[in-house]
Chains A and B, each alone.
Chain A
């Protein structure tokens, strides 16, 4: 029996209609159906944070969210962090200036998480940044530079 849902998703300010099986996650919908491959599939089990996106302005894991659950909500991915052609977001610029990555696979998730971390007011100290960024793993171990980048971006954004 084939099951399918027709969903309307609002992603990065644009409306998309797609037909998916109910089990399709928001992450797979973004990557496989909408061609937005910036959100990464690391563990696909809610442990690594590489798939972090914003839903209604809050950071969540796209791999543990059904696409159907995102209907009626505003989804923002790394591709939509700034308008097309605009300057880099201060967090993106800080990651570049601090070399806050090595392989880069976790970076989109790190950046989406960091933007929310700063907005939530959880970037007040290095210890607080580490605590509130702990849901984003970096297997290259770039953590000291990530903390420095978040600290700098927080100053730029405040």
Chain B
């Protein structure tokens, strides 16, 4: 790990000033930044420790929804009674991510900025070519071992999957990322790789995530996060789904449905085609199975990851049937 200057800004304003400096990086939980610095992927000239800034770790609930401070720890948000009651998919996505120790360290803001687990991205010595790390250098993953790479939202220059769990639940329930005064829908916060895979989100130099808000809704309250992976615990998703549902008073017609996918795409992936196909329809297994296939519209397998195209719709189906009370 290359050495760096260390700064503890006295205020958010000072943190923003420092963050605008070239090669400066914000440090919150440190679970991504220090890991990548040790891999040789991140080499900040200056590390700006914001963990001591006051008032950025609160969870407050109002009629409109919940406001989660950017420095709230994953473990605290997962265990929060209001979150568990009103946004169960958010709590489940959090406690099924990483390990207990990492969840005590990692913050909500930092979690959104975690980098891909693409093994080629993470190993610059063995694989110098990576368009995300070094634009224009090529992609070692294309034609490589691609079991964990994305099938949705890929481009000719990058197929790295977004590894997030929380971000998937936030995408399903229309969360908003607060960058101080500027606010941006979480679905717009994450960018597709296109020809600029080095740019993963809408954060500009000098901007700091201050909070995430999630609007209260019936589907958010009746929701789940289903994560399927190679190990039972402490593993990234092979495919995951955040699903929330609202039924009509008849108890069997779908009034509202939210579906987002993880582990399969270059950004947290809202499956609006699945939602549209099922809203207004009767909740029954055959219709759900058929509609879930629409989640893979446009999917492109790379060789080793074709299984995700089969797996993800099944995960979506199971999650919908579970929140609908049929599984």
Residues in A lying within 8 Å of B, measured CB to CB: 3, 5, 21-23, 25, 44-46, 49, 52, 58-61, 63-66, 68-69, 72, 113, 116-117, 120, 122, 130-136
CB-CB under 8 A from A136, the residues of chain B are 99
Report the separation of the CA atoms of residues A132 and B105 in the bound assembly, to the nearest whole angstrom.
15
CB-CB under 8 A from B4, the residues of chain A are 3, 22-23
A38 to chain B, nearest CB (A): 16
Picked from A3, A72, A116, the residue with its CB within 8 Å of the CB of B5 is A3
Which 7 A/B pairs are nearest by Cβ-Cβ distance? A135-B99, A22-B6, A134-B233, A134-B234, A58-B104, A64-B34, A23-B3
Given contacts A66-B6, A68-B49, contact A135 B102 (CB under 8 A): yes
Are B1's CB and A69's CB within 8 A?
A: no
Are A61's CB and B102's CB within 8 A?
A: yes
Picked from B1, B31, B51, B75, the residue with its CB within 8 Å of the CB of A46 is B31
B100 in contact (CB, < 8 A): yes
B256 to chain A, nearest CB (A): 31
Q: For chain B, which range describes its interface: under 10, 10 to 19, 20 to 34, or 35 or more residues?
A: 20 to 34
B17 in contact (CB, < 8 A): no
Are B52's CB and A64's CB within 8 A?
A: no
B184 to chain A, nearest CB (A): 28
A148 to chain B, nearest CB (A): 18
B226-244 CB contact bits vs A (8 Å, 1 = yes)? Answer: 0000001110000000000
Residues in B lying within 8 Å of A, measured CB to CB: 1-6, 8, 27, 30-31, 34-35, 37-39, 47, 49, 51-52, 75, 98-102, 104-105, 232-234
Are B233's CB and A131's CB within 8 A?
A: yes
A91 to chain B, nearest CB (A): 15
Q: Which of B52, B75, B98, B99 has most chain A Cβ within 10 Å?
A: B99
Report the separation of the CA atoms of residues A68 and B8 in the bound assembly, to the nearest whole angstrom.
10
Report the separation of the CA atoms of residues A122 and B47 in the bound assembly, to the nearest whole angstrom.
34
